[in-house]
Amino acid sequence: MTSSTPIVIIGGGFAGLAAAVRLVDSGRKVLVLEATKAGGGRSRSFHDKVTGREIDNGQHLMMGCYHETLSFLKAIGTPIDQAIHFQRNLGLTMIKPGGGRIELACPPLPAPLHLAAGLLGMRGLGVLHRTAALRAGLMLQGEIMRPDDNETCDAWLRRLGQTQAVRGAFWEPLIWAVLNDDPLVASAAMLLTVIERAFMSTRDASRLAIPRLPLSELYVDRSVALIRERGSEVRFASPARQIELDSDGRVSGVILKSGETIATTEVISAVPPHAMLELLPAPAREDLVFRDVARLESSPIVNLWVSLDRPILDRAFVGLIASPLHWLWDRDRVEAGVDAGSRAAPSRGPSLLSVTISGARSFVNDQPEALRELFVGELGRFFPQGPTPEILGFRVVKEKRATISHAAGTYRRRPETRSPIPGLLLAGDWVRTGLPATIESAVQSGHDAAAVLR
């Protein structure tokens, strides 16, 4: 090996590109290998012929506490104020069957008082339910018995005395959104990590942030340009076949599916767990760390992109209570930067709606026709007023392995950044970052891996 031997990064999503940018900024030479023609992993965009728009594989949401992500975007020159819309204050609108609304509007107070005041003043909930929510918020600050990874969100919320109404209006939408799993199985410890970062530190940390640009434009194109400007390389349509080890079990190269071998002693694997395991020689997979990785299960997300002849939302997005459709996003309002918590006069003309079904195990194998019927039925349940809008286009995007499952008791299966193989670092939203599998976790993992090699 010579001093010019690159660090090979396998995977061109948030984790891999964040690691690459950090490394080239420190003067290291990298080679990013991406199996697809465009990159982006599970956070990508593409031109869709059905809707005629540039769409993401699914709507992604950030928060003010995404410090690693915002640092990465600034490093690649993304104009944050133009590319991402931040709420002024945390706000959320949930719609009940029949069209009734529950509104959370947090005032500009220091954290966590802003959340306490917002919960106490939620419109659409009775006093008993608002008081239960406030009690939970106060207990979070000094709770004696914190949940461990073996306690489910459902059990923890019962322990906090949360009513079913406040669970449906606040807690369960939060759980589906950040853990992508059912509250009956999801880890309460993972949820508490998010609550503490987002709601207990600063008021700005809890603000929701919605990308206004397609994801590939937001970060992929800019990252690739910067990496190449610094004299390093990004190869698309270059899938890796195996990580090569020497007789001492150390990384010695990467073999591509084309047959080419790239010599290197340092590799960052930034692909999902099943893909990472396939890259390892069979004997290496017998290590206890990798055997635990093999036990990680996936949780899917189904995204519906629906072109309507007229808009049905008066704001950027809403959640639905007691529906398999968790979130509805008006993409035209999102791209225009309409504040997520404020009402606006309905726009005219066609509208593009993005619909998110999290933890979609019951729907991931359904045909588009069945999902269209589900959408139409829920539209009638939650928006009964006025004429039913006409569907002009309907596109289904399925991510069968969108995230790992955050089922209680599984966090210990997630591996550390340093793998048991000398020279192999692990990155991705699924490694042991202390966070659930989110964009922030992916970027943090890339930065952690880069820190080991700089």
Cα separations in angstroms, 322 against 105, 125, 345, 407: 21, 15, 27, 21
Cα separations in angstroms, 243 against 7, 133, 145, 308, 377: 13, 50, 44, 47, 49
Q: Whole-model pTM?
A: 0.93
Instruction: State the burial class of residue 385 (Cβ atoms within 10 Å of its Cβ: 0-12, 13-18, 19+).
Output: exposed
Query: With a cut of 50, which residues of the chain have pLDDT below it?
Result: 1-2, 144, 340
Helix (H, G, I), strand (E, B) or coil at 201: coil
> Any idea which residue has 């965009």 for tokens?
45
> Any idea which residue has 């199985």 for tokens?
185
Q: Which of 187, 124, 178 is nearest to 154 (CA)?
A: 187
Supply 404's token pair. Answer: 């790992």
CA atoms within 13 A on the CB side of 110: 0
Which of the 8 DSSP states describes residue 409? Answer: T
Supply 283's token pair. Answer: 């004997």
Taking the C-alpha atoms of residue 216 and residue 222, their distance in angstroms, rounded to an integer, is 9
Q: Give the chain's length.
A: 454
Quote the Cα angle for 379-307-385, to 5°.
Answer: 30
Question: In what order do the strands lie in the sheet containing 391-404?
Answer: 101-105, 91-95, 317-320, 327-330, 351-357, 298-308, 391-404
Supply 286's token pair. Answer: 């017998």
Contacts (Cβ under 8 Å, ≥6 apart) of 385: 99
Helices (H) and strands (E) in the chain, counts: 16, 20
Reported as a single tens digit per residue, the pLDDT across 119-170 is 888 888 888 887 787 777 666 666 546 789 999 999 999 988 899 998 998 8
Taking the C-alpha atoms of residue 411 and residue 189, their distance in angstroms, rounded to an integer, is 9
CATH superfamily of domain region 7-65+213-297+409-453: FAD/NAD(P)-binding domain (3.50.50.60)
Instruction: State the burial class of residue 234 (Cβ atoms within 10 Å of its Cβ: 0-12, 13-18, 19+).
Output: buried
pLDDT at position 142 is: 61
pLDDT at position 306 is: 96
Supply 160's token pair. Answer: 């906090």
> Any idea which residue has 């990472």 for tokens?
276
Supply 264's token pair. Answer: 């290197």
The letter for the amino acid at 216 is: S
Dihedrals φ, ψ of 407, to 5°? -60, 145
Taking the C-alpha atoms of residue 426 and residue 289, their distance in angstroms, rounded to an integer, is 12
Question: In what order do the strands lie in the sheet containing 7-10?
Answer: 233-235, 30-33, 7-10, 267-269, 424-426
Supply 179's token pair. Answer: 């853990």
CATH topology of domain 298-404: Polyamine Oxidase; Chain A, domain 2 (3.90.660)
Domain map of the chain by residue range? 7-65+213-297+409-453, 103-201, 298-404
Q: 233-235 and 30-33 as β-strands: parallel, antiparallel, unpaired?
A: parallel
